[in-house]
Amino acid sequence: SDHDLTYPEHPSAMRWSEHYPHFVATIPAAVPKDDPIATRDYNEYYVARMEKRVEVADIGCGFGGLLFALAPRMPATLILGLEIRTSVAEFVQDKAKALRLQQQQQPPASAGAETPPVPGGYENVSCIRANTMKFLPNFFAKAQLTKIFLCFPDPHFKARKHKARIVSATLNSEYAFVLAPGGMVYTITDVEDLHVWMVEHLAAHPSFARVAEGEAEGDECVAVMRRETEEGKKVERNGGRKFVAVFRRLEDPAWP
């Protein structure tokens, strides 16, 4: 049940500064009285001062293997995991904090650090507890995201449970809304039936076109998704197959 989930009324009401403190813009010492920002409410005040917005979302991130693998590869991009299980979301939040601290406390290479610092120091990765089937547009504005990952979603095998799948005509419209044109949806699963379902539903959506396999396989994100997700590792150990599909968010058609 998710009756106790909290979510912002609107993306601008989200306190991103708590998730990405290193990306809070420097606040000028004296805000002029006529500065419109100074008259806004607390939440907007903070939003107005974030240097960046979240651009990459991992839907149902689990324990965050993909998040922590992506973070150093795109150190200037804010990456967010969304996870419905409270304890799992907390685990990812705590891990991000621990990794940041470890990076901050590491001596510089000149002082004999054994391992090189991780680009971005994990400051660009965080996680929130959310039911992405319900509140996605509360967190992200239109065209805010450049990448959405749907990695090993729960398969919900029985036909009467298919409505619980995180790829559907309705949810695809939400993904299309929050993704910028040219943005990507990455899917991976070991369940062939679910792969076929996701491909069918995304291909049928007017906002998405499947990326050719050659191009998808050349995308580093695909390699990371195969290798670094917890489920991807499990499937690897068991010698299972991984089915991948990547979709591009198309431009909206011009009004006639």
User: Looking at 119-127, 128-136, 167-175, 215-223, which segment touches ligand SAM (CB under 6 A)?
Assistant: 128-136
Q: Which of residues 155-214 bind ligand SAM (CB under 6 A)?
A: none
Binder among 14, 56, 70, 88 for ligand SAM (CB under 6 A): 88
Rounded Cα distance between 248 and 187, Å, is 12
41 is catalytic: no
User: With CB under 6 A as the contact rule, which of the stretches 38-46, 173-181, 195-203, 226-234 interacts with ligand SAM?
Assistant: 226-234
Q: In angstroms, what is the minimal distance from the CB of 78 to ligand SAM?
A: 18
Task: Name the minimum Å distance from CB 110 to ligand SAM.
Answer: 37
In the set 17, 43, 103, 131, which binds ligand SAM (CB under 6 A)? 131
Q: Look at residues 93, 71, 72 and name the one whose alpha carbon lies nearest to residue 82.
A: 93
Nearer CB in complex with ligand SAM: 50/96: 96
Task: Select the residue interacting with ligand SAM from 125, 127, 151, 171 (CB under 6 A).
Answer: 151
What are the phi and psi torsion angles at 110 (to 5°)? -65, -25
Q: What are phi and psi of 26, to 5 degrees?
A: -65, 130
Report the residue from 44, 219, 230, 236 that binds ligand SAM according to the rule CB under 6 A.
230
Whichever of 219 and 230 has its CB closer to ligand SAM, that residue is 230
Q: By three-state DSSP, how is residue 176 classified?
A: helix
CB 118 within 8 A of CB 100: no
Residue of 2, 34, 154, 190 marked catalytic: 154
Identify the CA nearest to 144 among candidates 51, 54, 80, 71: 54
> What sign for the dihedral angle of Cα 221, 179, 175, 122?
positive
Q: Which stretch binds ligand SAM (CB under 6 A): 42-50, 71-79, 83-91, 216-224?
A: 83-91
Name the strands in the sheet holding 179-189, side by side, starting at the edge strand that comes first in the sequence: 125-129, 78-83, 54-59, 145-151, 179-189, 243-249, 208-210
Q: How many residues bind ligand SAM (CB under 6 A)?
A: 20
- By the 10 Å C-beta count (0-12 exposed, 13-18 middle, 19+ buried), 170 is classed as exposed
Q: Hey, which residues are catalytic here?
A: 154
Query: Using CB under 6 A as the criterion, which residues of the chain lie in contact with ligand SAM when the complex forms?
Result: 60-62, 65, 82-85, 88, 130-133, 151-154, 229-231
